[in-house]
Amino acid sequence: MFKKIGISQRNRLIRDNAAGYGFLSPTIILLLFIFGYQIISLFMFSLVKWQGIQPTQDFNNFSYFVTLFKKGLLYGPLLRSLAITVIVIPIVILLTTFIAHNIYRKVFGWRFYRWIIFITSIIPVIVASIVWTFLLNAYGPVNNFFRFIHMDFLAVDWFGNANFAIIALCWIIVWRELGFSTIIFLAQLESADFSVYEAAIIDGANEFQLIRHITFPALSNIIKLYTVTMTIYVLNNLFGVVLVSTNGGPGYATTVLEYYIYYMTFRVGKVGIGAAVSVILFILTFILILIYIRFTSKDNKEGVF
């Protein structure tokens, strides 16, 4: 009996997955047509020798990868990308949880908060970078305000100081992502039972206890999923912010993986090294996508759909 039920469930899952992939097949074919050739070419470019900006037909025995790891060229950009990820994601999750909690609890002015937070998600990242580069300039409005209130120690050149440039980049990403993250966190909170909050308040729970014991557990699944998707986003979408705000500087203080690919390929002219870094970034992203798929599956026996 149990064996027949197991076979029936397995057949149903196969049918469901086949139907899902069937509906997705036109998009999958289109994406493979557009990006498949480029991905294959990228791997090929990292495995052949280059003469200036011209590829040859000679296999390079993985020399570009060896150079990256042997000379330590990859470690700096990779660590900076990971550092931004480690800083940004916890801050976004904590701020979003606090904001979503208060909007869901309908605190005074919650409609205005929801509106003003949402605006950040519709501003293009390049525009946001330009605006914050102006605001955080050494003699920009923010620093002039600190000087006006006699807090000169806070008036620093955020993008021109190697010690603060990473922090400034992190702030742009956090500010830009709060809108989208608040939307999906609020959507998850809508499934929570509001009577649980009411019962906790009657028992004497304060706002911190409500967030810790009710809101966080209610958001646990979306937080896990958001952590993976946000990691993928940060690793693959830093180029625009860095190019506009710091151009990789001061020095190499904000040269992350994406910008390093651009720098090595188009500024230094070492296309093979740039292709090798691109392959490494692609592999890291692919691993994160597999983790994402694992989180979206109910258990090991079910597919994504």
List, for residues 86-101, the tens digit of each pLDDT value.
999 999 999 999 999 9
Q: Identify whether residues 68 and 211 lie together within a single domain.
A: yes
Q: What is the pLDDT of residue 283?
A: 92
> Max alpha carbon distance in the chain (Å)?
79
Does 305 map to a domain? no
Q: Identify whether residues 166 and 245 lie together within a single domain.
A: yes
Q: Kindly tell me if the per-residue pLDDT of 300 is higher than 50.
A: no
Does 301 map to a domain? no
Residue scoring higher pLDDT (129 or 20): 129
| Structure confidence by residue, pLDDT tens digits, 7-37 | 667 677 677 677 777 778 888 888 888 888 8
Does 82 map to a domain? yes
Q: Identify whether residues 96 and 146 lie together within a single domain.
A: yes
Does 172 map to a domain? yes
Q: Identify whether residues 27 and 168 lie together within a single domain.
A: no
Does 258 map to a domain? yes
Q: What is the pLDDT of residue 154?
A: 85
Q: Identify whether residues 113 and 46 lie together within a single domain.
A: no
Q: Identify whether residues 91 and 224 lie together within a single domain.
A: yes
Q: Which residues contact 101 (CB under 8 A, 6 or more apart)?
A: 189, 207, 210, 211, 215
Does 304 map to a domain? no
| Structure confidence by residue, pLDDT tens digits, 258-269 | 999 999 999 988
Q: Identify whether residues 23 and 150 lie together within a single domain.
A: no
Q: Identify whether residues 144 and 202 lie together within a single domain.
A: yes
Instruction: Tell me how crowded residue 145 is: count the other CB atoms within 10 A of its CB.
Output: 13
What is the rounded average pLDDT of the residues 221-233? 89
Does 302 map to a domain? no
Q: How confident is the model at residue 112 (pLDDT cuts 50, 70, 90)?
A: confident
The structure tokens listed for 92 are: 């976004």
Instruction: Tell me how crowded residue 152 is: count the other CB atoms within 10 A of its CB.
Output: 11
Cβ pair 91, 173 in contact under 8 A:
no
The SS3 of residue 59 is strand
Q: What is the pLDDT of residue 106?
A: 84
Structural domain that includes position 164: 63-296
Domain count, the chain: 2
**Domain end position, chosen among 59, 75, 108:** 59
What is the rounded average pLDDT of the residues 125-133? 91
Does 139 map to a domain? yes
Place of tokens 């809101």: 215
* CATH number of domain containing 204: 1.10.3720.10
**Domain end position, chosen among 38, 59, 80:** 59
Total-model pTM: 0.83
Q: What is the pLDDT of residue 7?
A: 64
Q: Identify whether residues 207 and 147 lie together within a single domain.
A: yes
| Structure confidence by residue, pLDDT tens digits, 155-164 | 888 998 888 9
Rounded CA-CA distance 272/184 in Å is 40
Q: Identify whether residues 28 and 136 lie together within a single domain.
A: no
Q: Identify whether residues 49 and 75 lie together within a single domain.
A: no
Q: Identify whether residues 38 and 183 lie together within a single domain.
A: no
Q: Which residues contact 24 (CB under 8 A, 6 or more apart)?
A: none
What is the rounded average pLDDT of the residues 280-303? 75
The SS3 of residue 270 is coil
